[in-house]
Amino acid sequence: MANVVVVGAQWGDEGKGKIVDWLSERADVIVRFQGGHNAGHTLVIDGTVYKLSLLPSGILRDGKLGVIGNGVVLDPWSLMSEIEKIAGQGVTVGPHNLMIAENTPLILPVHQDLDQMREEAAGKSKIGTTGRGIGPAYEDKVGRRSIRVADLADETTLDDRLDRLLAHHDALRKGLGAEAIDRAALKAKLLEIAPSILQFAAPVWKVLAEKRKAGNRILFEGAQGALLDVDFGTYPYVTSSNTLAGMAATGSGMGPGSVGFVLGIVKAYTTRVGAGPFPCELDDAVGVHLATVGREKGTVTGRDRRCGWFDSVLVRQTCTTSGVKGIALTKLDVLDGLEELKICTGYKLDGEVLDHLPTAAAQQARVEPIYETMPGWQGSTVGARTWAELPAEAIKYVRRIEELIGCPVALLSTSPEREDTILVTDPFED
């Protein structure tokens, strides 16, 4: 039996939440390994909509252990608010089904302040962050001045961490024209939230090793998408963490050998939120159709998503960098009723044909898509649970995507509902 890593293979918003929830029935442990509460996973179960940001999607299933790994940056107040919210929907979260790595860095109000002040100061050059402090929290992690979950258990250590943190942030705030941080108020907030967070704290690396030895199936849940990876994404319009499958190992404390089947989540068209290059973006009636029928608004920010045709060049690239063995193709139903479809098969740049997206930002902004046109279908794919229920043209579209990206479809999602899924290959059995 393989462990499974789920990653977004585009710019995020591919429908990872539903797929992870669906797969979690076959898993024992579900691990979030990077990102923060800038992630947004929407799940629809028996008509009820659940929106998660920090909690692993498997938390909605009884008898599963959800884990927040050390690769995540954790806003403790946001987490407790999320737990309270889904409690109102009948989902109980406690130490019996949620565990947080002791070495997980915290997102503090000072990080959110800095994130928002920087974006404001950047003007037209802003990156388009969610303003939730993710980037500044990761900066403090690599700058060795983070406050981590374990630090909340010892006031002396907490004081030392605060001194180091504030020495850095107060200098930045002064340069941005902001007041110094109220140290006493921040410490009081941390001591107040500490018991709520510490009840979940554990040596996750050790627990996961024991679970693996016992034969438990582990599902690693990524956030955002591969094109937002801080190294391999459309830099600088990226997130502040590594979003590729390799991060599952370092973001959880398990070795690379623990990562088994890598499942890339791929939308049947392309979207992105915020600024940055987007070769296949549409500003015509088809773009409006995709945005409207696909309900393309960010789960976390509520921002409109930019929409465009499927870009096989980008997905082929991300399947390579994440080592994807199979994809889960989502939102095929959004294409229902379109007379013709286009797939990007390459780019033109200054007269040259490219089979990949170049690294240089200026070149990324100038590439022009090369399209292949295919007939659409008039039948419905909504709710299909077998290949036989799909229109012939829809099957041809899926098969062509497989050919162009060099990777097979393992799962096909035909609606937001949990059970509207066609299983081709079970990642846990591959």
Nearest to 400 by CA among 410, 409, 391, 412: 409
299 labelled ligand-binding: yes
Strand partners, 270: 308
422 within 8 A of 412, measured Cβ to Cβ: yes
47 labelled ligand-binding: no
User: How far out from the chain centre does Cα 366 lie?
Assistant: 27
What burial class does residue 361 get, using C-beta atoms within 10 Å of its C-beta: 0-12 exposed, 13-18 middle, 19+ buried? middle
Question: Of the given ranges (50-54, 96-100, 382-386, 411-415), which has the lowest mean pLDDT?
Answer: 50-54
Q: How big is the chain by its Cα radius of gyration, in Å? A: 22
Q: Copy the structure tokens of residue 354.
A: 């490219």
In angstroms, rounded to a whole number, what is the distance separating the alpha carbons of residues 400 and 332? Answer: 14
Query: Annotated catalytic, 41?
Result: yes
What percent of the residues of the chain are helix, what percent strand, and what percent coil, each to the nearest 5?
A: 35, 20, 40
Helix (H) or strand (E) holding 342: strand 340-349
pLDDT at 211 over 80: yes
Q: From residue 368, give the alpha-carbon distance in Å to each of 21, 48, 215, 283, 340.
A: 37, 41, 49, 15, 20
Q: Which residue has the higher pLDDT, 389 or 416?
A: 389
What is the model's pLDDT at position 2?
80
Question: What mean pLDDT is predicted for residues 323-332?
Answer: 96
Q: From residue 72, give the alpha-carbon distance in Å to each of 7, 57, 135, 291, 399.
A: 15, 15, 12, 30, 36
What is the model's pLDDT at position 274?
84
429 within 8 A of 1, measured Cβ to Cβ: yes
In angstroms, rounded to a whole number, what is the distance separating the alpha carbons of residues 343 and 184? Answer: 56
pLDDT at 69 over 70: yes
Catalytic residue among 13, 140, 311, 420: 13
What is the model's pLDDT at position 317?
97
Domains contained in the chain, CATH given: 4-104+200-262 (3.40.440.10), 109-198 (1.10.300.10), 266-423 (3.90.170.10)
pLDDT at 89 over 70: yes
Q: From residue 14, give the alpha-carbon distance in Å to each of 171, 181, 227, 271.
A: 39, 38, 12, 8
170 labelled ligand-binding: no
Tell me what percent of the residues of the chain surpass a pLDDT of 70.
Answer: 98
Catalytic residue among 37, 141, 325, 342: 141
Strand partners, 74: 106
Question: What mean pLDDT is predicted for residues 406-412?
Answer: 96
Give the CA count within 13 Å in the CB-facing half-sphere of 348.
6
143 labelled ligand-binding: no
Helix (H, G, I), strand (E, B) or coil at 49: strand
| Angle, CA of 136, 365 and 265, to the nearest 5° | 65
What is the model's pLDDT at position 300?
63
379 labelled ligand-binding: no
Question: What mean pLDDT is predicted for residues 299-323?
Answer: 91
17 labelled ligand-binding: yes
Question: Of the given ranges (193-197, 295-299, 350-354), which has the lowest mean pLDDT?
Answer: 295-299
Beta strand 261-267 with 4-8: parallel, antiparallel or unpaired?
A: parallel
What is the model's pLDDT at position 368?
97
Query: Annotated catalytic, 297?
Result: no
- The dihedrals phi and psi of 289, each to the nearest 5 degrees, come to -60, -50
In angstroms, rounded to a whole number, what is the distance separating the alpha carbons of residues 31 and 65? Answer: 8
Q: What is the pTM of this model?
A: 0.92
pLDDT tens track for 3-19: 999 999 999 989 888 88
Q: For the chain, what is the mean pLDDT?
A: 93
355 labelled ligand-binding: no
Query: Annotated catalytic, 169?
Result: no
- Can you tell me which residue has the tokens 């773009």? 287
Question: What mean pLDDT is predicted for residues 313-335?
Answer: 97
In angstroms, rounded to a whole number, what is the distance separating the alpha carbons of residues 373 and 385? Answer: 27
Q: Which residue has the higher pLDDT, 1 or 314?
A: 314
425 labelled ligand-binding: no
242 within 8 A of 331, measured Cβ to Cβ: no
Helix (H, G, I), strand (E, B) or coil at 208: helix
pLDDT tens track for 356-400: 999 999 999 999 999 999 999 999 999 999 999 999 999 999 999
318 labelled ligand-binding: no
What is the model's pLDDT at position 9?
97
pLDDT tens track for 226-249: 999 999 999 999 999 999 999 999
What is the model's pLDDT at position 66?
96
Strand partners, 377: none
What is the model's pLDDT at position 139?
96
What is the model's pLDDT at position 42?
76
pLDDT at 61 over 90: no
In angstroms, rounded to a whole number, what is the distance separating the alpha carbons of residues 393 and 377? Answer: 6
Nearest to 304 by CA among 292, 319, 316, 313: 292
Dump the DSSP string for 291-339: HHHTT-B-TTT-PBPEEE-EEHHHHHHHHHHHT-SEEEEE-GGGGTT-S
pLDDT at 156 over 80: yes
